[in-house]
Structure 1
Amino acid sequence: MKFSSVLMSAAAIGMAAVGINAQQNQPACSSIYTRKEILSLTSSEWNLVKSILAAMQRDGWFRWFAYLHNQWFGSIHGNSQFFPFHRRFVYEWERVGKMYNSGYIQPYWDEMRDYRVPASSPVLTSNWVGGNGRSGDRCVVNGVQANWMMTYPNNHCFSRNFGNNGNPSSWYSPETIQNFIQRDTTMTQFRPDIEYTLHGVVHINIGGDMYQGYSPNDWIFMLHHANLDRLWWQWQQNGHLWTMDGPNAGGGSISLDSSMPYFNEPVRSVMQLGYGNMCFQYASNPISRRSLDPDMDQRLAAALPKDVLAEWFPETAKTEIANITDNIVNSVNSAIAEVSEIINSKPFNPIPYPARLTESWIKMHGFDTAEVRKVENQSRKLIDILNKAKYRSPY
């Protein structure tokens, strides 16, 4: 299953039509598969993934995707091609995996749930993707890519070099990401809010191959970008399904008809899940082993004044719990009282500031340092507000 033969068959991949979307002008998918959070995979699903990853490494696919990402690096970062290109890129990876076994579905890693102490995540253990590279040569010796030798851009051991001397600093909390999803109204806002925060700090703090332009050498790349794509889809469903504005690769303004780098397909072809080749969805059920209750909206509404809630979390402010009056609060049933008791029973644990993007990362991507720091500082302002209100995060 060499990548050359699969590329020859790319045009043959298609989906049966059950309808046409007017904006996209593509057929609705006849069936839709679900991308799951990695820790919710069954043993048989994980064993299938592991076997296919080994085969893709053997046949040169890790090298190929690392090469593509590195070659087009300047065109797919720092502009509005970031989300559409990476949706198409992860889908292409998944499509190749399905050539080995149609049951292959790319999982995602909900990294925000592990934001406080990333290195303690069960995802970064030998049972899953493995941990930090060993002292000295930074070669990874456990997990799904244990002891692999990579061949792009040269022969080297597969490596990771966790930030902060092996104990990565906090990355971005679910509350911060929810703030972006609820407040941002344009891609010009949403793209840098994600790219300068969660996107960058995960790459940087995993380090090694993940720090480079050829980061798809590390399968965490696919887990990470599937998660970022999931967040984009959440934002799209918040009234921004066809929102695509801001700069295009190479200058000018992007539109739905702009061509994605390398793929030479219009941006509109990946905008709506469930149409064309985007025949997947993301699992919406809580991850049982990591689910938390009560939910974040209830906690935010209980902690923040209504005007502050409306400014930073406008969608949450519209919910019933955010608008109940004191009289109603006094008469609600015992279930609500139990929720409040749960919220306040645990000691207050402030949300830590997340890691910042390094100067070398900013330079590597050609970002405007002042714009990066503006986004970072705005996120820290939110953290200050939440901590001052003694908001108790469930995460």
Structure 2
Amino acid sequence: MKLSSVIISAAAIGLSALSSVSAQQTQPACSSIYTRQELLSLSSSQWNLVKAILSAMQRDGWFGWFAYIHNTYFGQIHGNSQFFPFHRRFVYEWESIGKRYNPGYIQPYWDEMRDYRAPATSQVLTPNWVGGNGVSPNWCVQNGNQAGWTMTFPNNHCFQRNYGNNGNLGSWYSPEYINSMIQRDTTMARFRPDIEYSLHGVVHINIGGDMYQGYSPNDWIFFLHHANLDRLWWQWQVGGRMWTMDGPNYDGSNISLNSNMPQFNEPISSVMQLGYGKMCYQYASNPLRRRDLGADLQQRLIQTLPKNTLAAWFPQTAKTPAAVNLIASVPANNETSNGQYIPYPTPLTKEWLEMHFAKPGEVQHVEADARKFVDAMRAAGYKSPY
């Protein structure tokens, strides 16, 4: 085998998308755009099509192939700034293989922040969708679309999940905190570890089994998860950082838009802007989920948080006209009447961090920042509706 309308809710970060194409764009504009949807917004017929294609891809060895590629380049695509561009290209490649079976295949994403408070109860992790935890002692998964599968890489084994914390999944990362990082981080050198060692890591670790390993593409949740991370990167990009690519490359040199992505031998610049080159897709929000993460969230933050707290944690929101007009009347400790306080997120395991070549300082920064954020929200009386 050979490995071969953006509804990003600009209100979610208080900015509009770019109005013109950067001079750095050398890829041709796509003649047509398809839309990646949140998994739970798929219709029954769409989900049945996806399941049929995934079964065919498993039959023909594609799960094993993508697991092999991810495992082979593992050290080059984690712990450095290759993380986002490589995985964008990798998920696209998976999607393009799916389209060979049926052009209607479009890779969905899982908006895990919606389920952060009690992820084990997510509808996504139920038999009608991707299934839940494996069964002791071998942790073979017995329900969902991959139930009873035998994976071929790195050896023949039953498809496995082994939920973290002895099956008692703790909280992940709230929509508010992820939104805060999207607003505050101004460099890839900061944004990459902030996401890689928060939402990225906690999902891999807590799903466990195949997802815990370098060959995590054995679990289709991998592609749901990384499509969501790609969506978050895109939200960060349209906040005035479309062509921001800095920080270390896998060989220790300074990465640039001209740096090639492992496996594909293509420059990072070729995947930077959705709607150009091969990246002919966009992301849609899910109207069926509980609440909008765009305007609804921003309004709640503006009307709840004291001026200094809003400016510190949501600087882009604090500069919007709505915030400027209302902020003067927002009292300190303006406790919301509905929702719950944001819990501390589940810490990552030392073993997983070592496997990802994580630098202790970067991890400590993320962990301390997340705790500080929770403390600040509680001190302000903020309760999350999610």
> What TM-score do you get using the length of structure 1 for normalisation?
0.89
Runs (5+) with no aligned partner, structure 1: 11-18, 330-339
Instruction: Kindly indicate whether residue 234 of structure 2 is the aligned counterpart of residue 243 of structure 1.
Output: no
| CA contact 2:127–2:143 (8 Å) conserved in 1 | yes
Between 244-253 and 302-311, report the one with greater CA deviation.
302-311
Match of 2:323, SS state, is helix
User: Residue in 1 aligned with 2:11?
Assistant: none
Deviation at 1:315, TM superposition (A): 1.1
Between 81-90 and 354-363, report the one with greater CA deviation.
354-363
User: Residue in 1 aligned with 2:290?
Assistant: 290
Between 304-313 and 28-37, report the one with greater CA deviation.
304-313
Residue identity in the other structure for 2:54: L
| CA contact 1:171–1:354 (8 Å) conserved in 2 | yes
Change (3 A) 1:309 1:145: same
Change (3 A) 1:325 1:240: closer
Instruction: Kindly indicate whether residue 113 of structure 2 is the aligned counterpart of residue 112 of structure 1.
Output: yes
| CA distance in 2: counterparts of 1:344 and 1:246, whole angstroms | 39
Give matches, 1:165-314, under 5 Å.
165-284=166-285, 286-291=286-291, 295-314=296-315
Deviation at 1:79, TM superposition (A): 0.3
| CA distance in 2: counterparts of 1:359 and 1:289, whole angstroms | 34
| CA contact 1:299–1:393 (8 Å) conserved in 2 | no
Change (3 A) 1:326 1:278: closer
Which of the residues 373, 379, 383 maps onto 1:388?
A: 379
| CA distance in 2: counterparts of 1:327 and 1:306, whole angstroms | 7
User: Residue in 2 aligned with 1:92?
Assistant: 93
Computed over aligned residues only, the root mean square deviation of the Cα atoms, in angstroms, reads 1.9
Tell me which of the two structures has the higher relative contact order, counting C-alpha pairs closer than 8 angstroms and 6 or more residues apart.
2
Instruction: Kindly indicate whether residue 363 of structure 2 is the aligned counterpart of residue 362 of structure 1.
Output: no
Rg (Cα) greater in structure: 1
User: Residue in 2 aligned with 1:64?
Assistant: 65
Deviations 1:219-249 (A, max 9, x none): 0000000000000000000000000000011
Match of 2:147, SS state, is coil
Change (3 A) 1:186 1:327: closer
Deviation at 1:326, TM superposition (A): 8.0
| CA contact 1:187–1:244 (8 Å) conserved in 2 | yes
| CA distance in 1: counterparts of 2:361 and 2:320, whole angstroms | 35
| CA distance in 1: counterparts of 2:235 and 2:346, whole angstroms | 24
User: Residue in 1 aligned with 2:104?
Assistant: 103
User: Residue in 2 aligned with 1:151?
Assistant: 152
Residue identity in the other structure for 1:118: P
Aligned positions, number: 367
Deviations 1:115-148 (A, max 9, x none): 0000000000000000000121100000010000
Which of the residues 354, 363, 367 maps onto 1:372?
A: 363
User: Residue in 1 aligned with 2:48?
Assistant: 47
| CA distance in 2: counterparts of 1:351 and 1:112, whole angstroms | 12
Change (3 A) 1:308 1:51: same
| CA contact 1:296–1:393 (8 Å) conserved in 2 | no
Residue identity in the other structure for 1:102: P
Deviation at 1:327, TM superposition (A): 8.8
Change (3 A) 1:262 1:292: closer
Deviation at 1:321, TM superposition (A): 3.0
| CA contact 1:295–1:394 (8 Å) conserved in 2 | no
| CA contact 1:79–1:249 (8 Å) conserved in 2 | yes
Deviations 1:64-87 (A, max 9, x none): 000000000000000000000000
Deviation at 1:357, TM superposition (A): 1.1
Residue identity in the other structure for 1:159: Q
Between 369-378 and 143-152, report the one with greater CA deviation.
369-378
| CA contact 1:139–1:147 (8 Å) conserved in 2 | yes
Runs (5+) with no aligned partner, structure 2: 5-19
Change (3 A) 1:21 1:179: closer
| CA contact 1:299–1:391 (8 Å) conserved in 2 | no
Deviations 1:262-321 (A, max 9, x none): 10000000000000000000003x432423598111221122211221111011112233
User: Residue in 2 aligned with 1:353?
Assistant: 344
Residue identity in the other structure for 2:35: T
User: Residue in 2 aligned with 1:14?
Assistant: none
| CA contact 1:37–1:287 (8 Å) conserved in 2 | no
| CA distance in 2: counterparts of 1:210 and 1:97, whole angstroms | 20
> What TM-score do you get using the length of structure 2 for normalisation?
0.91
Between 356-365 and 116-125, report the one with greater CA deviation.
356-365
Match of 2:282, SS state, is strand
Deviation at 1:22, TM superposition (A): 3.7
| CA contact 1:20–1:26 (8 Å) conserved in 2 | no
| CA distance in 2: counterparts of 1:373 and 1:148, whole angstroms | 38
